[in-house]
Amino acid sequence: MKIRGVGRLRRAARWVRNKFTPDALILLYHRVSELPSDPQLLSVRPQYFAEHLEVLQKTCHPMPLQQFVRVTRNGNLPRRTVVVTFDDGYADNLHNAKSLLEYHEIPATVFVTTGYVGHKRELWWDELDRLLLQPGTVPETLHLSVNGRKYKWALGKASHYSKEDFERHRGWNVLTKNDPSPRQELYRSLCRLLQPLPGEERSKVLDELITRTGVDTMVRSTHRTLSLNELVEMANGRLVEVGAHTVTHSLLSALPTAVQRSEIQSSKVRLEEILSRPVTSFSYPYGSWSDYTRQTVAITRDAGFDCACSNYADTVWQGTDPFQLPRVVVRDWDGETFTQWLEGWFRG
Ligand SMILES: [Zn+2]
């Protein structure tokens, strides 16, 4: 439901605050890679990413996140300041994004899910994609227990998913309104069921799914996360900061305080061990208002971070809480489309 006039008021408020401190933007990327399918819409192809960086270099003032937080506090932000961030810790951040960032001399912060560093599994949503949305055959009826409850899905003819089926539906993603086959329906319901689970419980369900579907536990080279050495290489040089993104990519608002604290603190400690330097930036997994709580923010502050990024679209100004920095998600857009979005975000 929309209340009339609220949009106008928000725009007016932004105009007033813009008179005193110019708005700035934090961009949220996940992957730089060209993929045959991308159900979560996480990837930007390298050519487009290069075009984005060219636009940023020509029309904006790119800044490292930590410096940005300091400058924002003092109210001395240059016009059109932009920060580039990546979530999750995919290997393509090193192999496809870093050299482009270096070429354009644009700093970035990469938030890493430490439990997946050098891990032998794909991130959980990728594992679901590999098990359910890639060509292959799974049982016609699938039984699973999730968090003590038993579930049953009837796949019928969709138990066999041919290469043609894959080709036909590879453009499907979670923002698509309709699910073209029971495979997509199952993927969507399992995403919903797995997201709030603690990491260990989620892995248990995925293990059961692997057993029941009979699909291998391989990690696709296109979907792997950073190895230990790659993480060190990622942090080398002066342009890339590594930040923490929990251990198991948990929905923090669904977890008890002690588990939240452990997820947040342990990811910081682990990265500091690997990189031998302080890790002071954090980003909340999923990151929308309902994915963390006030308590989560307090835990993050107490853990010794300087700032934390959320995932709701807004600009940043002097009054923004440094522990709830809004970010705008960047999709697989060419340079021209990216420019239009950029101008829209700056206008508000
Ligand atoms: Zn994430």
Residue 249 CA, ligand 1 centroid: distance in Å: 6
pLDDT level of residue 16 (50, 70, 90 thresholds): low
> In this model, does residue 304 exceed pLDDT 60?
yes
Q: How does DSSP assign 218-280, residue by residue? A: ---GGGPBP-HHHHHHHH-SSSEEEEE--SS---GGGS-HHHHHHHHHHHHHHHHHHHSS---
Position 170 pLDDT exceeds 70: yes
How remote is the CA of residue 16 from the centroid of ligand 1, in Å? Answer: 33
The predicted pLDDT at position 1 comes to: 46
Q: What is the band of 73 on the pLDDT scale with cuts at 50, 70, 90?
A: confident
CA of 109 to the centre of ligand 1 (A): 13
- Ligand 1: distance of its center to the CA of 311 in Å? 10
pLDDT at 78 over 60: yes
| Conformation bin of residue 142: beta by default, left when phi > 0, alpha when psi is -120 to 50 | beta
The arithmetic mean of pLDDT across residues 271-291, rounded, is: 97
Task: Report, as an integer, the average pLDDT of 50-67.
Answer: 98
Grade residue 74 by pLDDT with cuts at 50, 70 and 90: confident
Q: How far is the CA of 128 from the centre of ligand 1 (A)?
A: 16
Average pLDDT of 70-78? 89
Instruction: Give 44 Cα–ligand 1 centroid separation in angstroms.
Output: 15
Exposure letters 204-239 (e unless 16+ CB within 10 A, then b): ebbeebbeebebeeebeebbbbbeeebbeebbeeeb
Ligand 1 centroid vs 175 CA: distance in angstroms? 17
Q: How far is the CA of 87 from the centre of ligand 1 (A)?
A: 5
What is the average pLDDT across 263-292? 97
Residue 185 clears pLDDT 80, i.e. is over it: yes
**Distance from Cα 245 to the centre of ligand 1, integer Å:** 7
Which pLDDT belongs to residue 11? 66
Structure-model confidence comparison of residues 75 and 201, the more confident one: 201
Tell me which architecture the domain covering 6-120+224-347 has in CATH: Alpha-Beta Barrel (3.20)
Kindly give the distance from the C-alpha atom of residue 113 to the centroid of ligand 1, in angstroms, as a whole number: 8
Where are the chain's structural domains? Answer: 6-120+224-347, 124-218
Closest CA to 308 of 257, 252, 233, 255: 252
Query: pLDDT band at 6, cuts 50/70/90?
Result: low
Q: What is the pTM of this model?
A: 0.94
- The CA 309 to ligand 1 mean position distance, Å, reads 11
Q: Which pLDDT tens digit goes with each residue over 209-232?
A: 999 998 887 899 999 999 999 999
Cβ atoms of 193 and 204 closer than 8 Å: no
Question: Which pLDDT value is given to residue 4?
Answer: 52
Closest CA to 277 of 63, 66, 29, 84: 66
- For residue 133, the one-letter residue type is L
Using the mean position of ligand 1's atoms as its centre, give its distance from the Cα of residue 88 in Å: 5
Centre of ligand 1 from the C-alpha of residue 137, in Å: 30
User: Does residue 59 have a pLDDT over 60?
Assistant: yes
Residue-wise pLDDT tens digits, 233-265: 999 999 999 999 999 999 999 999 999 999 999
In this predicted structure, the answer to whether residue 2 has a pLDDT above a threshold of 50 is: no
Between 312 and 20, the higher pLDDT residue: 312
Model confidence band, residue 76 (pLDDT cutoffs 50, 70, 90): confident
* Residue type present at position 101: L
What pLDDT digit, counting tens, does each position of 126-152 carry?
Answer: 999 999 999 999 999 999 999 899 999
Q: What average pLDDT does this structure show over 97-104?
A: 98
Percent of the chain, pLDDT > 70? 94
CA dist 142 and 209 (Å) reads 9
Segment 4-11 shows an average pLDDT of 63
39 alpha carbon – ligand 1 mean position (Å): 15
Residue 3 has a pLDDT of: 47
Q: Give the per-residue pLDDT at 5.
A: 58
| pLDDT averaged over every residue in the chain | 93
